[in-house]
Amino acid sequence: MAKKTTKKTTLLIENIGQLVTMRGPIPRRGKAMSEIGIIENAFVAVSGSEITVIGHMNEITGNVDPAENCSVISGEGRVVTPGLIDPHTHPVFARTRELEFEMRLAGKTYMEIAEAGGGIRSSVRHLREIDDKTLYKNAKKTIDTIMSYGVTSMEAKSGYGLSTEAEIKMLKVIQRLNEREAMDLYPTFLGAHEVPDEYRDDREAYIDLVINEMIPAVAEQKLAQFCDIFCEEGVFTVEESRKILVAAKAAGMIPKLHADELKSTGGAELAVELGAISADHLGCISDKGIEMMAGSDTIAVLLPGTTFALALDEIAPARKMIDQGVAVALSTDCNPGSSMTESLPMIITLAALKLKMTAAEALSATTVNAACAIGMGDNLGRIEIGLPADIVVWDMRDYRELPYHYGVNLVEKVIKNGKIVVGA
C-alpha cells in the first residue's frame, strides 16, 4: 500500500486506529455507500498541501522521509477521516431569527411566517442594511464554527439580497472569505430564493430581473459556480424554476434546486431534466422523482437538521432512495430560518436516527457524495495519494461513535491543505 515518495514529509499522522480513506466508487450508491475503506493501525504522510504516502504502521520505515521541521501527530489509536464537506449552506446573513422559532413552537408554520412577511424576507431587509465588514465578520464566525466541527470545504449561497446590488454584495463577501480564510467555499447564486417585498405584486418582473440583470452580472463577474432556486408551492413554481435555471445554465452556471421540501411539486424530476448537480431537501419527493434520480448523476442532498428544526412529519425517504440507487449526500443547511446549526456531526446523528442511515453511509454522504454535489468528486472527500491533505483527527476509537456520541464536538484536529487549522 505504501509507495515510496521522493517528497519530504512535512506532516505525519501516525498510530491511527482507524484510517477512513473512503477509497471506492464515486459517487457511492446503494450498498457501496457502506464501503469506507478503513486501514487499521495506519499512518498518513503529507508533503506541503498534498497527501503523499498512506499505509500500515509497519510500512512506515523506508517509505517516509521526514523534513527537518516535520510536524508529527500521534493518533493514539484514534479515528482519522477525510475533511467533511458541507454541500448546502446559507452562512452569510445579518441576524438570527429565534423569534420565528418561538412562533413555530406556538403553532405557526414556516410558510405561514413567510407569507406574513417574515422568513427569508425578514433576512433580506436586514441584509440590505448591514455593511460589508460586519457581514464578513458574522459569516467568518459561522464558517469558523463549521470548520471546528470537521468541515474543510463547503458550498455557500447568496439569496438574502434579492436585488442585483445586495446579491453581489453577498457573493463578494463569499469571494473574500474564500480568498482569506482556511475554508474552501464553493459559491452559489440564489437570487430566486423568494420574491422580495417590492415585487410582491409583480412576480413576473422579479423573474425578469433575475434572468436579465442578476444572472448576467453574476456570470460576468464570475461570482458563482452554481445557480440555485427555492422551487416550492408558494415560492417559485416548476415552470418558473425551469425558466430561471435554463437562463443560468446558458450563462455558464450549474443548476441546483431546493426541491420538494414541504410539498411534492416535481422538483426532483425538474432537477434530473435539467441535469442539475444536486436536488436538495426532498422531504416530499415522489416515487417517480426517486426513480429518475437513481438513473441520473444528480446528487440528493438531504437535510435532516431542517426537518428536525421545523418539526416536520414528512422526512426524506432516505432508505428507499439509497436502496434504489440514488447517490445521497448530507448537509447542515446552516441558515438562520430553518436550520440554525453549524454542526455536520449533529446532522450525521439525525441522519442515523431519523433517516435510518448507518455511520458508514453517513460518512459516504458527507465526504465523497458531498464532494460530487459541489463538482469536486475527483478531488475531495478521500484520503488518497495526490489529493489535498484535508484531514480530521477525531477523539474516538471507532467511526461508529460519530452518530452515537451526539451534541458534543469530538473533533480533535482539522488539517486543511496540510496545515493544522483547528487544535494546533
Burial class (CB in 10 A: 0-12, 13-18, 19+), 130: middle
Cα–Cα distances (Å) from 140 to 172, 173, 320, in that order, read 13, 10, 37
Nearer Cβ to ligand NIG, position 339 or 367? 339
Match 468541515 to its residue by C-alpha cell: 151
In the chain, the amino acid numbered 383 is: I
Determine contact, residues 354/315, Cβ cutoff 8 Å. yes
Query: In angstroms, what is the minimal distance from the CB of 119 to Fe ion?
Result: 12
Collapsing DSSP to helix, strand or coil, 137 comes out as helix
87 binds, among Fe ion, ligand NIG, none (CB under 5 to 8 A by kind): none
Compare residues 333 and 412 and give the one whose CB is closer to Fe ion.
333
Q: Strand, helix or coil at 368?
A: helix
Query: Nearest residue to ligand NIG, using CB?
Result: 337
119 binds, among Fe ion, ligand NIG, none (CB under 5 to 8 A by kind): ligand NIG
Are 45 and 1 in contact, with CB atoms under 8 Å apart? no
361, interface contact from ligand NIG, Fe ion, none, CB < 5-8 Å by kind: none
> Is the Cβ of residue 261 or residue 361 nearer to ligand NIG in the bound state?
261
- Which of 130, 128, 142, 241 shows the shortest CA–CA distance to 194? 241
For residue 78, the minimal CB distance to Fe ion (Å) is 33
120 binds, among Fe ion, ligand NIG, none (CB under 5 to 8 A by kind): ligand NIG
Task: Find which of ligand NIG, Fe ion, none residue 261 binds, CB within 5 to 8 Å per kind.
Answer: ligand NIG
In the complex with Fe ion, which residue's Cβ is closer, 52 or 306? 306
Q: Which residue of the chain is nearest Fe ion when measured via CB?
A: 333
Q: How far apart are CA 136 and CA 84, in angstroms?
A: 23
- Name the residue nearer to ligand NIG (CB basis): 73 or 259: 259
Residue closer to ligand NIG by CB (options 285, 402) is: 285
- Give 184 or 333: the residue with its C-beta nearer to Fe ion: 333
Residue 188 or 335 having the CB closest to ligand NIG: 335
Minimum distance between the CB of residue 160 and Fe ion, rounded to whole angstroms? 11
- B/e letters for 131-161, b = 16+ CB within 10 Å, e = fewer, are eeeebbebbbebbebbbbbbbbbbbbbbbbb
CB of 250 to Fe ion, least distance (A): 24
**Spatial distance between the Cα atoms of 263 and 354, rounded to a whole number of angstroms:** 19
Residues that bind ligand NIG (CB under 6 A): 90, 119-120, 123, 230, 258, 261, 306, 333, 335-338
- Nearer to ligand NIG by Cβ, of 111 and 410: the residue is 111
Min dist CB 414 to ligand NIG, Å, is 25
Contact 55, 4 (CB under 8 A): no
| Phi, psi (rounded to 5 degrees) for 50 | -120, 145
User: Does 361 help bind Fe ion (rule: CB under 5 A)?
Assistant: no
Residue appearing with cell numbers 434530473: 272
The minimum distance between CB 369 and Fe ion, in angstroms, equals 17
Q: Strands 226-231 and 38-47: what pairing? A: unpaired
Other Cβ atoms within 10 Å of 318 Cβ, number: 23
The strand pair at 411-416 and 391-394 is best described as: antiparallel
Helix (H) or strand (E) holding 17, with range, is strand 9-20
Is residue 369 within 8 A of residue 299, CB to CB? The reply is: yes
At its nearest, how many Å lie between ligand NIG and the CB of residue 100? 8
Q: How many residues bind Fe ion (CB under 5 A)?
A: 1
Residue 235 Cβ vs ligand NIG, minimum distance, rounded to whole Å: 8
Using CB under 5 A, which residues numbered 278 to 337 contact Fe ion? 333
- Asked if 107 and 355 touch (Cβ cutoff 8 Å), the reply is no
**Least Å from the CB of residue 271 to ligand NIG:** 15
Residues that bind Fe ion (CB under 5 A): 333
